[in-house]
Amino acid sequence: MANYAWVLEVRPGYEDEYKKRHDEIWPELVEDIRAAGLRNYNIFRYGLTLFGYFECDDLDRAIVELGKSDANRRWGEFMGPIMKIETDTLRNFSFLLPLQFHMD
């Protein structure tokens, strides 16, 4: 199992809306995320900065599976206007942060 992290931003004034939308996340999206192999997925916010963390055995497979998900596509359209999103165009996925330290 490998762990991954990303950083994005919520647009100013949309902090509460971002939280509300995730409090009401679509069950089919959660199912698709799990089916793609992501586990222990967490998102934290500091000011406008969002920090996501998840674990996954096969990231390349997960990206392919999420790319097939209609719920994931619709969620991206739904969230896009309230976020500043930078995507790694080679993977069509959020830029992942390089691991700097790990302690068991």
Whether the CB-CB separation of 72 and 64 falls below 8 Å is answered with no
22 catalytic, yes or no?
yes
CA gyration radius, the chain: 14
Q: What is the dihedral of CA 15, 18, 23, 27, to 10 degrees?
A: -170
With residue 25 as reference, give the H or E element that holds it: none
Which one of the listed residues 11, 19, 20, 22 is annotated catalytic? 22
Please list the active-site residues.
22
